[in-house]
Structure formats: structure tokens, C-alpha cells
Amino acid sequence: MEYPGCSFSELYEWSIFHTDLPKHLPKFYRECFETWATVNAKQISSRDHIMDQILWNNQHPRIDGKPQFCKKSYMAKIVKIKDILLPNGKLKPRDLFREKGLNLINYLLIFGLTKALPDSWRVSVN
């Protein structure tokens, strides 16, 4: 799990499992994240709520069983699901990401995350 370039106030939006926290995280911060994960555990069902979910370090879209983070995409303001999907639920065109300075590898990770969204979310956003 990575979080460079993020302020602590931004981290509260993440939806992470406590098992995804770095092993070297100090006990106080670990307890804060674990408590927040418990408080933040809610059923996500509406389209608007899904589109407003944080994309990075989210417990739901996982690749190889792990939450993902891409600093370059994050710094390019690709932060939430609505930042990568069109209103019809399809992935935004690659040119839009290229204009933000993202390369093919960044785009393929974003594409992979769209495929890693839970089935119920994909149905809701389409």
C-alpha cells in the first residue's frame, strides 16, 4: 500500500482492509486506520455513491488480491471512480488520460481497475 503525496486528511476517504496496512506502520496509526475501517464499513449501492468512491487503496477493486495505487495518476487528479468512467459507465477515452500526462502503463492499470470493480458496482454504473 502506498500513500505518497497524500495528506493525512485525504487518507480518511480510503476504504482499506486492516490487513492491507503496511507492517511498519506505527501502532497508533494502525489503530486509527483499523477503527476508521470499521466506522467506514458501509454498504455501497447507489450509482452516485459508487462513482464517488476513492479509486486508490480501495478494498473493493483489487488486482491480484491487492488494492492499487499509482502516484502519477493520483497527482493527475485521477482520484475517484467518476474520474475514469463516462456517465454511461464506460471507461473514458485514452486521449483524456494522455492529456493529463499519463502513459500506456498508467492507462492499463486504470483499465484493470475498471474490470476489478465488484460486479454489483459495474451493473449499477452502466
What mean pLDDT comes out for the span 44-73?
A: 87
The answer to whether position 3 is within a domain reads: no
Q: What is the pTM of this model?
A: 0.71
Over 50: is that where the pLDDT of 1 sits?
no
Specify if 108 maps to a domain. yes
* pLDDT for res 41: 61
Residue 30 belongs to a domain: yes
Residue type, 43: Q
Is the pLDDT at 13 greater than 60, yes or no?
Answer: no
Residue 2 pLDDT: 47
Residue numbers of the domain that contains 95: 8-125
**DSSP track, 73-97:** HHHTT--BGGGTB-TTSSBPPHHHH
SS3 5: coil
Residue 27: the pLDDT is: 82
Over residues 84-126, the pLDDT tens digits come to 999 999 999 999 999 999 999 999 999 999 999 988 888 898 8
Question: Positive or negative, the Cα torsion across 98, 86, 3, 70?
Answer: negative
The reported pLDDT for the residue numbered 14 is: 55
Residue 1 belongs to some domain of the structure: no
> How many domains is the chain partitioned into structurally?
1
pLDDT at residue 19, as a whole number: 61
Domain-located, residue 2: no
What angle (nearest 5°) sits at the alpha carbon of residue 10, between those of residues 18 and 61?
50
Contacts of 25 (CB under 8 A, 6+ apart): 33
- Does the structure show a pLDDT above 60 at 15? no
Asked whether residue 27 is assigned to any structural domain, the reply reads yes
